[in-house]
Structure 1
């Protein structure tokens, strides 16, 4: 038995797995009479405003402008940039392929100049970007270890509010919620950036 299996066995002994039917019934009984959408228009503008508020760099581009914008952003970062194998080739068509490390090994992540990924969904109300680490997003380590992260967000992926965003996500997938560059503050409110993730976050919103 591996260490992982042993840990899961112990957890199962403390909190037994509930039958799927029981879980579905409980989920369906949750009261959802609360207001589910606070914004009807200007969703993309609100999202860009909230992302910028977190000290992230955000630009709005068209699909035709995207390859050039990606190349421009990454050219300012000398060195090799990590990218998931499932990232659309068109997004990086303006960049020298030799500068991309597709699905880099975990041991190589610290030496990368940055990472470029897509996302699963974004939330306008909170300026949050969610990765579920599916195709085009790569493993969680790729979005946490490099000091720079470029995320491409397509307009259709931007939800107005949290309830709408959660409905689009699979709770069984590993979810990473990104609200600006990595930062924390000590008891004296001294801000420190880059503690548990990228120090610099850049977002390209594709309209």
Structure 2
């Protein structure tokens, strides 16, 4: 399935971040959104996820305007924001269980353990989040990746931020496995990610 935008524009306050933006992300593809600080990378992902409205333009998924079936589109996507929605007093396991339940995808204890194992957090899985490092908190959020294989569209805002080399490698492998299954990934990153497949790039500077 393919994600497309047509002449998308984004206004933040009284500043036009980008306009006339047209992108196409197909099944099996990793699309990296590039641009300087304040160019609108996070804003674009929020618009694609339906969390913010564009100033102009439209979005299509699988050949249909997303507005024609907004709920159906949301069931197809997994969005990871740069600032994770998590409770500081809950553990990584409790936060992960809550997030999956809110998404309508309750998970077994075994599935939660395996997902946290993938991000190297089994020893910390029952500790309050406020006791963990920034990198460990980020990994706790990224555990959702390993429970979202059924969602064909991944929108990831700075998924490699605050991660060590091993965690970056694991996340990159998860993204590539998702695309190998026919999924589509749109992401932002300031880092060079260790992808073994070719990735496409969209520079928001071209639409400023």
Please state which band the TM-score falls in when normalised by the shorter chain: under 0.3
Q: TM-score, normalised by structure 1?
A: 0.27
Higher gyration radius (CA): 1
Give TM-score, length-normalised by structure 2. 0.27
- By relative contact order (CA 8 Å, sep 6+), the higher-ranking structure is 2
